[in-house]
Structure 1
């Protein structure tokens, strides 16, 4: 009788420890999921803004030129100002005489928006859709050779290509953080025998 009582007490202790471990795993899982989703929202907002700004490109370059002049940039950074003026002249000519050329930037904007939609997958179920994050990281890495190869062919100044490459570098950072968190979530999910997040 006494041994049954001790066995029951040990079972209760064991179940209590299991419940505490499960609760801790659920708490860690919830925190990881929250962090993953916050980083994904940040990345998607940046991606959408980057794409949406390709639609009004002609007007944006005009506004940029006006702003730079108001800030006396021509006196301090003449090379930058000359480049902006050249880009503005090219876009004005294309807009006036060859507007179909600007349709390419419409497609650029659309591509950004479509890629942004794909990130709903890892937002909903990070472990199952980690491949979307990895695809994004590969795309960010691809910006560097694209800028280095196509920049000189298109007559882009090297310092502008460096700015282009910065999009890849800064784009991959949040995705790297997200991937690490997803891997931790995956390990936690497997160890606790939980169903992946949805």
Structure 2
């Protein structure tokens, strides 16, 4: 791989990593103001062409969050930890930003986490009375999250190949000197 192509690939990898990191951080930050957000969502759904079943579900969520917040505010501490976990996970991508090839395992781990969203939604969703269509919304986060990670992984594989080629071209010179 020519130096220009390798540099371009590295920029692409880092750009997609930043997109993924920003999305993780935003996802985490939105887990804090749930009462406010569910109010906004309900208002938006009431003013948009929303299927009745979806509107009923959104209103049920808003009511549940509000009543829980009024009567049992300590339960929101669980979503605070969820938010914190998103922020910590975003921090784990510092390694791949610095050295994507060495830290490819973080990308592989994140792809596994994205895949894990699917069985979690399918198994836990019915246990928590989550409607099927909402489970598909939840599962879409795993699918959508995997897209930039797969682009990053493909770029890292190209960088690995370029590094291997560069090392292979150095080896004959060293090997020739060591044979005599």
Q: TM-score, normalised by structure 1?
A: 0.82
- 1:133 Cα deviation from its structure 2 partner: 0.4
- Answer yes or no: is 1:66 the counterpart of 2:43: yes
Distance 2:90 2:112 in 1: 15
Which residue of 1 is the match for residue 15 of structure 2? Answer: 38
Distance 1:109 1:94 in 2: 18
Which residue of 1 is the match for residue 137 of structure 2? Answer: 163
Per-residue deviation, residues 63-98 of structure 1 (Å, max 9, x unmatched):
11112212253xxx1001100111111111110000
Which residue of 2 is the match for residue 12 of structure 1? Answer: none
Distance 1:51 1:106 in 2: 9
Distance 2:84 2:101 in 1: 27
Per-residue deviation, residues 139-183 of structure 1 (Å, max 9, x unmatched):
000000000000000000000000000000010111011011101
Unaligned runs of 5+ in 1: 1-23
Could you list the structure 1 runs, at least 4 aligned residues long, displaced by more than 4 angstroms after superposition: none
- Answer yes or no: is 1:121 the counterpart of 2:98: no
State the structure with more CA Rg: 1
Q: TM-score, normalised by structure 2?
A: 0.90
Residue 193 of structure 1, aligned match among 137, 143, 167: 167
Distance 2:42 2:138 in 1: 19
Residue 82 of structure 2, aligned match among 108, 125, 134: 108
Distance 2:163 2:77 in 1: 46
Confirm or deny: 8 A CA contact 1:25 1:192 kept in the other structure: no
Which residue of 1 is the match for residue 30 of structure 2? Answer: 53
**Residue pairs, 1:136-155, within 5 angstroms:** 136-155=110-129
Distance 1:183 1:66 in 2: 46
CA RMSD of aligned residues (A): 1.2
